[in-house]
Structure 1
Amino acid sequence: MAKIVFGMAVPHSGMLGQPPEKWLENGARDRQNSELWFRNRTWTYPELEAERGAAFELYLTLEERTARAQRCRAALDEMAAAYRRANVDVVIVLGKDQKEIWPDQSPSITIYTGAEVHNGPPQRAVYAPDRHVIHQAYPELATYLIKAFQKEKFDLNDLQAWPDNVWMSERQGMKPGYPVVPHAYSFVYHQIMGDTVPPHVPVLFNLFYPPTQPSMQRCIEFGRVLREALIAWPEDVRVAVIASGGLSHFVNDEEFDRDVIGKLASYDYDGLAAIPDGYYQSGTSEVKIYSIVMMALQQTGAKMTLVDYVPCWRTPAGTGEGMGFMYWDAEKNS
């Protein structure tokens, strides 16, 4: 029987690959965004500035940005080390497509049942090595999981081959000769696994785009079914479940982030589900899949290790990204 031994929730922000000198350049994009999600509604940047003032100006100095970038780098290094220590055989990678491969559709939940996953240029260096690499997926386990979810009244999309990464060809003007995986996955392969990727199953959630977004409660239920299916998988393998994304962005909400971290640490599913869905929008929607990791690990007795929480700011009104680095090691706490 398979044994779930490790879980992780890690951000995949492009800011993690930028020198702190360039962080404020992202603020120009935020100022033009007419739908900045913050606390259950959308705001224009002028509205946000009127609400929050310039309260975050003190965090925008180069010294402050450099210190926070260093903390993020140290946290990522510790996350990668924790993953290596877990010595897993198989990984379930939870993430999303941000109109990178599906510009015209938004399947609610998808499991990739193909055999190969491609990464490499023109993904940015934070997401990929400087060469084309092919990682092995796990079609047998993926197909088994789809059948297990069908028995529990989940109707899932079966992705049998990766489409072309149209975001790269249309937005970046580059068309690689292979289907580059969305950045939520490539970040994990490159930054956490060091491009040495075991057999794994990518699971894609439509977290960003109404009306087919799974709710927090649905993600929690997904975690229960995933856990039971993995435990029943007859292979003698050590399994990790990794969620890629979050915390609050593109408006930082430190109070919300710390509340969510506390609920994750205490396995407070009811508390997470009680938060209005309007809080789980835009980039903050990625928090939903954290609940799947915690559900998968709960029965092991694992305690959450919070490596660091680093709000990274890029405008005086508080846009930016909340970087939370946390993992669950079933054997560390046994």
Structure 2
Amino acid sequence: MAKIVFGMAVPHSGMLGQAPEDWLKNGERDRNNPELWFRGRSWSYPELEAHRGTVFEKFLTLEERTARAKRCRAALDEMAAAYRRAKIDVAIILGKDQQEIFVHHSPSIAIYSGAEVHNGPPQRPVYAPDHHVVHACHPTLATYLIRKFQAQGFDLTDLFEWPENVWMEKQMKRKADYPVVPHAYSFVYHQIMGDQPPPHVPVLMNLFYPPTQPSMARCIEFGRVLRDAILAWPDDVRVAIIASGGLSHFVNDEQFDQDILQKLASYDYAGLSAIPDGWFQSGTSEIKIYSTVMMALQHTGARMTLVDYVPCWRTPAGTGEGMGFMYWDAVN
């Protein structure tokens, strides 16, 4: 029978591939963003600065940015090492599409049941190698999971062919000859799995875009059904559940992040579900799939290992990204 032996939650921010000298360039995007979500509502940048002041300016020095970038790199290296130690046969990768491939529709939850995924240029170097690579998926397991979820009241989208990555063509000014996978997945392949992922199933959760976002409670329930389905899978394989996404962003909220980390470490489903959904908007919404991993691993007795938590700042009002690196290891 299949065993769930490893879980991970890892950020996939483009900042992780930038030189610290370039971090502040992202701040211009924040200043021009009319919907910076913070604690249940959206703010313009002038409103946010008026509310929070400029207390984060001290974190914007090049020395500070360089130190935080080094911590993030060290944490990523440890995450990749932990993944290798787990000796995984099959993976379930939870992520989202950020209007990279879904531009005319927005499925709440989709499971990719195709045979392969593509990565490589023009995807940015932090997300992909410098050449086209093709990775094997697990269509048999994907179809099995869809049926199990349907039987438990989840109405899912069966994605059996990757659409073209139109974001890539628009932003990178270059069209690939193959459907480049969204960045939530390519980051895991490249940074965690060393461009050698095992047979795997990509799961796409619409965390970002109302009104079809699954709630925190729904993501927790998804983890329960996923756990039960995998444990009933007859193959003798070691399975990892990996969530790709960050903590608070694009407005950093250290207090909120620390509360989330405590709830994740203690399997506090009630506490997570009690947080108003307005707090899980924009990039902060990616926290929801951390709970899916938590639920899928709890039965193993695994405790959460927090490798590091590194808030990375890019404006005086505190915009940036909260980088949380954590895993659940049931091997030891």
Shift of 1:170: 2.0
Whether 2:330 is the aligned partner of 1:318: answer no
Where 2:260 maps in the other structure, the secondary structure is helix
- Aligned partner of 2:87 in structure 1 is 87
- Aligned partner of 2:66 in structure 1 is 66
- Aligned partner of 1:12 in structure 2 is 12
Shift of 1:173: 1.6
- Aligned partner of 1:163 in structure 2 is 163
Per-residue CA distance 1:211-264 (angstroms, 9 max, x = gap):
000000000000000000000000000000000001000000000000000000
Bigger drift between 171-180 and 262-271 goes to 171-180
Per-residue CA distance 1:167-197 (angstroms, 9 max, x = gap):
0112322100000000000000000000011
- Aligned partner of 1:122 in structure 2 is 122
How far apart, in 1, do the equivalents of 2:170 and 2:103 lie?
A: 10
- Aligned partner of 1:264 in structure 2 is 264
How far apart, in 2, do the equivalents of 1:249 and 1:170 lie?
A: 23
How far apart, in 1, do the equivalents of 2:62 and 2:170 lie?
A: 33
Q: Runs of 4+ in structure 1 displaced over 4 angstroms?
A: none
- Pairing of 1:171-190 with structure 2 (within 5 A): 171-190=171-190
How far apart, in 1, do the equivalents of 2:204 and 2:331 lie?
A: 28
How far apart, in 2, do the equivalents of 1:19 and 1:246 lie?
A: 19
How far apart, in 2, do the equivalents of 1:100 and 1:324 lie?
A: 24
How far apart, in 1, do the equivalents of 2:193 and 2:88 lie?
A: 11
- Aligned partner of 1:219 in structure 2 is 219
Shift of 1:7: 0.1
Where 1:125 maps in the other structure, the secondary structure is coil
Structure 2 spans left out of the alignment, 5+ residues: none
- Aligned partner of 2:237 in structure 1 is 237
How far apart, in 2, do the equivalents of 1:290 and 1:78 lie?
A: 18
Whether 2:309 is the aligned partner of 1:309: answer yes
Q: Which amino acid aligns with 1:275?
A: I
- Aligned partner of 1:40 in structure 2 is 40
Structure 1 spans left out of the alignment, 5+ residues: none
- Aligned partner of 1:97 in structure 2 is 97
Where 2:201 maps in the other structure, the secondary structure is strand
- Aligned partner of 1:144 in structure 2 is 144
Where 1:299 maps in the other structure, the secondary structure is helix
- Aligned partner of 2:3 in structure 1 is 3
How far apart, in 2, do the equivalents of 1:283 and 1:186 lie?
A: 17
Q: Which amino acid aligns with 2:195?
A: D
How far apart, in 2, do the equivalents of 1:170 and 1:260 lie?
A: 35
How far apart, in 2, do the equivalents of 1:210 and 1:57 lie?
A: 32
Where 1:78 maps in the other structure, the secondary structure is helix
- Aligned partner of 1:197 in structure 2 is 197
Q: Which amino acid aligns with 2:140?
A: E
Per-residue CA distance 1:134-155 (angstroms, 9 max, x = gap):
0000000000000000110000
- Pairing of 1:275-290 with structure 2 (within 5 A): 275-290=275-290
Q: Which amino acid aligns with 2:123?
A: Q
Shift of 1:103: 1.1
How far apart, in 2, do the equivalents of 1:31 and 1:236 lie?
A: 51
How far apart, in 2, do the equivalents of 1:171 and 1:325 lie?
A: 28
How far apart, in 1, do the equivalents of 2:80 and 2:126 lie?
A: 14
How far apart, in 2, do the equivalents of 1:69 and 1:123 lie?
A: 21
How far apart, in 2, do the equivalents of 1:287 and 1:229 lie?
A: 23
Identity %: 78
Matched length:
332
Shift of 1:329: 0.2
TM-score under structure 1 length normalisation:
0.99
Per-residue CA distance 1:29-54 (angstroms, 9 max, x = gap):
00000000000000000000000100
How far apart, in 2, do the equivalents of 1:242 and 1:268 lie?
A: 19
